[in-house]
């Protein structure tokens, strides 16, 4: 069975418009994914691409693309029975069950593993509930922060002279965490990250589930180009397959005034700054003072 045949089978059985992601998720639940035998990492994107091309280039295509957000595909002969304005968006109970088990803060350990393993960044969780309620403003600080040290790369003499000229090479990162990103929450989530990440060298919006519809990805790209917040997709099943979908725009200067404001409001952030200073002074990074970095085996065992 090829992807076009798989899509037709799933859509007919479900008898409702589906996104490319939903087609693949339902195929896995029903065991039809094994009939395709794909080894690609993003089969849902392949399904979407095949359907787009079939609709565009094949006059006899059985499919129609519905102008919804995100884009949904349906069978042409059945489309006349659908009121596009009243399409009921349903998610299989099996998929809902998997997502409901995952809590936003469960994602922290996966991000910590990913950015440390592949970017040598140490992270610290910022607990919003510990912020000073009298001074705390919505969207002031992110869910996690990170720091990159040059200590393991630079010779001691280089560190000494860098301090003298005011260019130590430390980079600060900001991470806003979401369980999922889709058309419904993208703009609010993105501008929340813009608001609470303006102080850092790089700011990211992080999620475990990200809509892969082409229109959605183009909108993310546009936002990133305009406002500079990058996007990270965490892979809970295979943490090493997590990836930076859109890199953040790096800023040379950090916003000291905002950093000071966050430090006044939140004790976790204040301790994070103290830890950076202590590690730079001692020239030894105390890993245990940052978020725990789980081994890949531990992450898989703790999978939500």
CA pair distance 252, 164, nearest whole angstrom:
18
CA distances from 177 to 99, 105, 126, 141, 228 (A): 15, 8, 11, 12, 16
For 210, other C-beta atoms within 10 Å of its C-beta total 22
Angle at 47 (CA atoms; ends 42, 53), nearest 5 degrees: 125
List the pLDDT tens digit at each of the 304 positions of the chain: 899 999 999 999 998 899 888 999 999 999 998 888 776 778 888 898 889 888 888 888 999 888 777 788 999 888 766 554 544 444 445 445 545 567 888 899 999 999 999 999 999 999 988 887 666 666 778 999 999 987 655 556 545 545 544 445 789 999 999 999 988 899 999 999 999 998 999 999 999 999 888 888 899 999 999 999 999 999 888 888 899 999 999 998 889 999 999 999 999 999 999 998 898 888 788 999 999 999 888 887 665 4
3 state DSSP class of 127: coil
CA pair distance 124, 136, nearest whole angstrom:
19
- Decide: pTM greater than 0.85: no
What pLDDT, on a 0 to 100 scale, did the predictor assign at position 279? 87
User: What's the pLDDT tens digit per position in 25-49?
Assistant: 999 999 998 888 776 778 888 898 8
Nearest alpha-carbon partner for 279 in 168, 184, 196, 200: 168
CA pair distance 245, 211, nearest whole angstrom:
12
CA pair distance 57, 109, nearest whole angstrom:
45
- Contact present, 244 and 221 (Cβ < 8 Å): no
Q: Where are the beta strands (DSSP E) in 80-136?
A: 121-125
What pLDDT, on a 0 to 100 scale, did the predictor assign at position 123? 97
Q: How far is CA 141 from the centre of its chain?
A: 18
HSE-CB at 86 with a 13 A cutoff on CA atoms is 4
């Amino acid at each position: 069975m090829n992807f076009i045949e798989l899509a037709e089978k799933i859509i007919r059985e479900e008898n409702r418009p589906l996104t490319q992601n939903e087609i693949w998720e339902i195929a896995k639940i029903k065991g039809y994914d094994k009939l395709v035998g794909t080894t690609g990492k993003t089969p849902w994107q392949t399904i979407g691409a095949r359907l787009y091309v079939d609709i565009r280039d094949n006059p006899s295509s059985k499919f129609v693309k519905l102008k919804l957000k995100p884009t949904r595909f349906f069978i042409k002969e059945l489309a006349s029975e659908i009121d596009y304005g009243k399409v009921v968006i349903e998610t299989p109970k099996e998929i809902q069950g998997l997502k409901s088990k995952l809590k936003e803060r469960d994602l922290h350990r996966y991000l910590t593993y990913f950015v440390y393993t592949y970017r040598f960044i140490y992270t610290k969780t910022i607990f919003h509930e510990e912020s000073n309620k009298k001074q705390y403003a919505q969207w002031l600080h992110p869910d996690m922060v990170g720091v990159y040290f040059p200590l393991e790369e630079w010779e001691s003499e280089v560190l000494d002279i860098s301090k003298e000229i005011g260019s130590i090479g430390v980079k600060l990162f900001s991470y806003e965490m979401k369980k999922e990103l889709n058309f419904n929450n993208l703009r609010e989530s993105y501008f929340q990250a813009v608001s609470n990440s303006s102080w850092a060298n790089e700011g990211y919006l992080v999620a475990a589930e990200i809509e892969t519809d082409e229109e959605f990805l183009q909108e993310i790209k546009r936002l990133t180009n305009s406002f500079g917040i990058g996007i990270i997709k965490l892979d809970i099943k295979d943490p090493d397959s997590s990836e930076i979908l859109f890199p953040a725009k790096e800023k040379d200067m950090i916003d000291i005034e905002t950093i000071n404001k966050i430090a006044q409001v939140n004790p976790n952030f204040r301790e994070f700054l103290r830890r950076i200073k202590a590690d730079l002074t001692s020239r030894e990074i105390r890993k245990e003072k940052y978020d725990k970095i789980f081994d890949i085996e531990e992450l898989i065992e703790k999978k939500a």
